[in-house]
Structure 1
């Protein structure tokens, strides 16, 4: 079963309230063994419309990624995010097939 990833692209309008979201996600992310691969950081937009914040979080599989998202703990934290920012969040399955040859 492939790993799964949350991919979030966010513009934060209210940093104080967004900080409450970040603090509130620590518990559910630890519980579901989330691992940050990208968390903010500098970026260069090459195509399409950019957002100011990009996040990629790795989970063991899609079931775990969805369980974290739907958990009461995450939903409580999410209440802060939706009033402090706008953006997109998706869950994407990882790829386990052959890689391009060099």
Structure 2
């Protein structure tokens, strides 16, 4: 079964206010088994546009990734993020097929 990922590009407008979101999301991510693969690392945009932060979270499967985002717990955490940031978030299923070569 393919893993799934949240890919988020985020601009934080109020870093102090954003801290309440970071504290709230930790418990939710633990409940759904999320694992950070990328968390605001150094990056360069080669094509198109992006935001200041990039975050990639890994989940065991697509259903779990969706369930986490749609959970009441994450809705409560997200309510703490929205006043302090702007984000583009996608949930994508990983690829389990053959690899080239």
**TM-score bin (small chain):** over 0.9
Match of 1:54 in 2: 54
What TM-score do you get using the length of structure 2 for normalisation?
0.96
Write the deviation string for residues 61-97 of structure 1: whole angstroms up to 9, x where unpaired.
Answer: 1111111111111111100111111120010000011
After TM superposition, the score normalised by the length of structure 1 is 0.95
Distance 2:75 2:16 in 1: 18
1:99 partnered with 2:99: yes
CA-based RMSD: 0.8
Q: Deviations over 1:36-61 (max 9, x none)?
A: 00001110110011210000000011
Equivalent pairs, count? 101
The gaps in structure 1 that reach 5 residues or longer are none
Three-state SS of the structure 1 residue aligned to 2:37 is strand
Please list, as runs of the form range in 1=range in 2, the aligned pairs for 1:4-19 lying within 5 A after superposition: 4-19=4-19
